[in-house]
Chains A and B, each alone.
Chain A
Amino acid sequence: MSAPPSPAPSPLPPLLEVQALRAELATRGGPLNMLDDVSFTLGHGRVLALVGESGSGKSATAFSIMGLLDPPARVAGGSVRFAGRELVGLAEAEMRRLRGNRIAMIFQDPMMTLNPVLTIGAQIVETVLAHAPVGRAEARRRARDVLGRVGVPGPEERLACHPHQLSGGLRQRVAIAIALLHQPDLIIADEPTTALDATIQAQILREVRALVTERRTALLWITHDLSVAEQLADDIAVMYAGRIVERGPATALLRQPIHPYTAGLIASLPRGRRGSRLTPIPGLPPTLASRPSGCAFRPRCGVAGPACAADPPWRDRLAGSAPGGAVRCVNPGQAVAA
């Protein structure tokens, strides 16, 4: 398999370097590929949106990086380098130290972050105290402040609540607040705003964006929502059936998708004249057990040909311009026309 063209060269090694990552799910019938040849890099102060639909491997990628894949799933190959250090195969105690300090994860389910038996206040104050040399009163003030910043109404009263007393949306905002307080180098967020209202989502995206700019935090944001990716990300990587099929600068990729799957996703959005029929992608994504060889999208692709039965190579999205991103399609020329 050819190595993907690297994005814009930078003098320092990127904070996160994922190379040919592979993950498997063990089954009675033998291992199934969850992730295959996933590679990308992410630098300080950059936001990469990992975009794809259910089952495309977005969350599996995040969990693989964090060392959180549980059997029967496992990382089966490739490398994840964080600040120059290999994370694949790292001892759990080491990994836990990184997760507590330098890498934060925001989960889809906020109860993976929150402790059900402690009040919100206790959990946030503890986080502040762990990361800043301040007294309890100051920690409490910062706790109130951060809750306000993620759109929690009446922060003072919420501090006394236990997680079960809050709605799902409020819990998620608290979990996000805690991740922001950690001041990590890298935040991995797995669809954390999907269930939230538009005004709250917009505020959280602004807050996160500000954090990235101020503290040069690197952010890997997983989402199925292209408009969220557009608002937040510098770069986008599109996943399909366990692989990245296209990636590049967010605006360019959304404006001029090259891979037929990316183009299909964008075409299926409600745009154009009100009431006009939308264009769904025909067929369904393959299950883990039924992924076709070669390009997994070919059964649904309008421009697929015999050549698509072989693994498609990476190519520059724009001829001869690596910073424009890369696409994994044998027919990128035709795909543009599609």
Chain B
Amino acid sequence: MTAALTAVPTAPLTEGVLAELRAVSRVFALPGRRGAGLTAVDSVDLAVRRGEMVGLVGESGCGKSTVARIMAGVLAPSTGTLRLGGRDFGSLTATEARAAQLRVQMVFQNPHASLNPRFTVEEIVGEAVRFHRLVPRDTLADHVAAQLLRVGLDPSLRHGHPHRFSGGQRQRIGIARALAVRPDVLVCDEPVTALDVSVRAGILNLFLDLRDQGELGILFISHDLSVVGHVCDRVAVMYLGRVVEEAPVDALFDAPRHPYTQALLADASTPSPPASGSERIRAGAPALSERPSGCRFHPRCPAARPDCAVREPALRPVGPGHRVACLLADH
């Protein structure tokens, strides 16, 4: 079944969907300002299917990490729904919710901070498995060893503590821990940002291998477009809480439609500064609290028209699997 689904990337929208946000918003209350709130995530639709790696990119504060936490079921949306395995997460009983939550596991940015320094590798990788009694007690050690092998670590290292490992090895331990509870979805928040280039390559290969095995869906959050462009199948671009463009990786990188995506790619990929006269956007997004009216990108947009300040564009299809929220792309 899995193989059939991965072989058909253009399957109908609901097919193979493991985790999905539908019209999800999240408002954070501002301390001391009753009634006021920051909308960190605003009406986001995002699905992760089996056998695919979905990239989520955008500048600091655009809501990427909030999306990650909502998809992992550790942060409730203010409105909208999280669907895991085809069911509305909010409607599950406590027991069902706990089981569903295990199906989505997170991998964090900082492998130094995200592993308990007092635990051995075996305890770190096996802890949730033991707690949730996912494998018989007497096979736990084998189960842990299998996870370590899967991420490219020597199982004989399982009695060591995290401080004895390099950054890359620690990130492998973090991935083994996530895999140990047999999830459907990995939500990875900047998983290679803290790693050196030569080590990062090995971790990216591991993600590609996990994806190709076809069992998992992976949400891969990164601010590094060269990495996302290399490993992801589909990419969503967020700006100030909204998805402004979403497309298969080739379409997004080769023919981006949103001026923001175009600007991000121009700044990230050109090894040398582009010739003078080419359009550039002002650096840095405004704070969420200063969100502009209409299209929230319009004050920085080189192509903005007067109505961009008034009308907020919806995300509309412009090609196969390609959606853009821009008034200029609307016709």
Contacts and interface: CB of A to CB of B under 8 A. Distances in A.
Contacts of A225: 197
Contacts of B75: none
Contacts of B229: 270, 274
A199 B198 contact: no
Contact of B267 (A202, A275, A279): A202
Nearest to B299: A153
Interface residues of A, number: 40
Contacts of A270: 201, 204, 226-227, 229-231
B205 A199 contact: no
Interface in A261-290: 264-265, 268-271, 274-281, 284
Interface in A206-234: 206, 209, 224-227, 230-231
A151 B283 contact: yes
B17 to A, nearest CB: 21
Nearest to B196: A53
Contact of B230 (A209, A231, A275, A280): A275
Nearest to A148: B282
Contacts of B302: none
A279 B59 CA distance: 28
Contact of A279 (B201, B208, B227): B201
A54 interface: yes
B197 A268 contact: yes
Contact of B197 (A154, A205, A226, A275): A226
A256 to B, nearest CB: 15
B167 to A, nearest CB: 7
Interface in B195-246: 196-202, 204-205, 208, 223, 225-227, 229-231
Given A153-B286, A202-B283, A197 B60 contact: yes
B267 A277 contact: no
B198 A264 contact: yes
Contacts of B283: 151, 197, 199-200, 202-204
Nearest to B250: A274
A278 B201 contact: yes
A204 B282 CA distance: 11
Contacts of B230: 270-271, 274-276, 278
B226 A269 contact: yes
A198 interface: yes
B197 A197 contact: no
A203 to B, nearest CB: 4
A274 B228 CA distance: 10
B282 A151 contact: yes
A227 B273 CA distance: 11
B4 to A, nearest CB: 20
A198 B271 contact: no
A77 interface: no
Contacts of A226: 197
Given A202-B283, A203-B283, A264-B198, 11 more contacts: A154-B286, A197-B284, A199-B59, A199-B263, A203-B284, A224-B197, A227-B271, A268-B201, A270-B204, A274-B250, A278-B202
12 contacts: A153-B290, A197-B283, A198-B59, A198-B264, A200-B283, A265-B197, A268-B198, A268-B200, A270-B230, A275-B231, A278-B202, A280-B205
